A and B are shown apart, each in its own frame.
Chain A
Amino acid sequence: GESVGLHLPTLSVQEGDNSIINCAYSNSASDYFIWYKQESGKGPQFIIDIRSNMDKRQGQRVTVLLNKTVKHLSLQIAATQPGDSAVYFCAEKKYSGGGADGLTFGKGTHLIIQP
């Protein structure tokens, strides 16, 4: 079936370095993508989103890149800080079509910031 997944379950980076978290999706009809951050014991929190008519979007210290040709999504975090340690999920959503107004989430990547 169609699914959203992540390449690496765990990513360890040095504090201050940049990190890149990757996501592969297989539903070519998906036209909206979101990155969420989930800290331990908390629910996911919205970070940044991107629509399929864009290939890049920047936020504060975060950038999301979308490559529709290879169905790949990435989240770049600049100058990582200890507070960036969390599990990061990508999610896809279809605008059109009926059914559940829900998101399909990947399994998540655990980002660990080394001091």
Chain B
Amino acid sequence: GAGVSQSPSNKVTEKGKDVELRCDPISGHTALYWYRQSLGQGLEFLIYFQGNSAPDKSGLPSDRFSAERTGGSVSTLTIQRTQQEDSAVYLCASSSLDGVNRARGYTFGSGTRLTVV
């Protein structure tokens, strides 16, 4: 597609339920990132996929969070047993550039706004 697509755009869930957030990166982009944006806060890094390498999960806040990227394309972020503090906008970004230019080439999706009630 023309850009990074995220679905759903909005998700309201009950505390304790599991949710899955989807990211379709730009075709051919090898790098994919998940960030979390809480109200009035900056972007918090969650996880990074690069090609076929093992993902960098160092930003995941707890073991309730997990992500996978199938076939080097679509990625799913799963939050188990959601808590109210998980409420935030979850942003996905992809990039085709390498090395020092990778961040310059970030293309972000519009995000999924998750509300846990």
Contacts and interface: CB of A to CB of B under 8 A. Distances in A.
B103 A99 contact: no
B103 A44 contact: no
Contact of B43 (A46, A89, A93, A95): A89
B106 A101 contact: no
Given A43-B109, A44-B108, A108 B45 contact: no
Nearest to B104: A49
Nearest to B111: A43
A41 B110 contact: yes
Interface in A7-48: 9, 32, 34, 41-46
A103 B103 contact: yes
A91 interface: yes
Contacts of A44: 43, 91, 106, 108
B4 interface: yes
Interface residues of B, number: 28
A102 B45 contact: yes
Interface in A59-115: 89, 91, 93, 95, 99-108
Contacts of A104: 45
Contacts of B31: 101
Contact of B56 (A45, A49, A51, A100): A100
B65 interface: no
A75 B56 CA distance: 31
B41 A107 contact: yes
Nearest to A92: B103
A46 B45 CA distance: 17
9 contacts: A34-B103, A44-B106, A46-B106, A91-B103, A100-B48, A101-B102, A102-B48, A103-B103, A105-B42
Interface of A: 4, 9, 32, 34, 41-46, 49, 51, 89, 91, 93, 95, 99-108
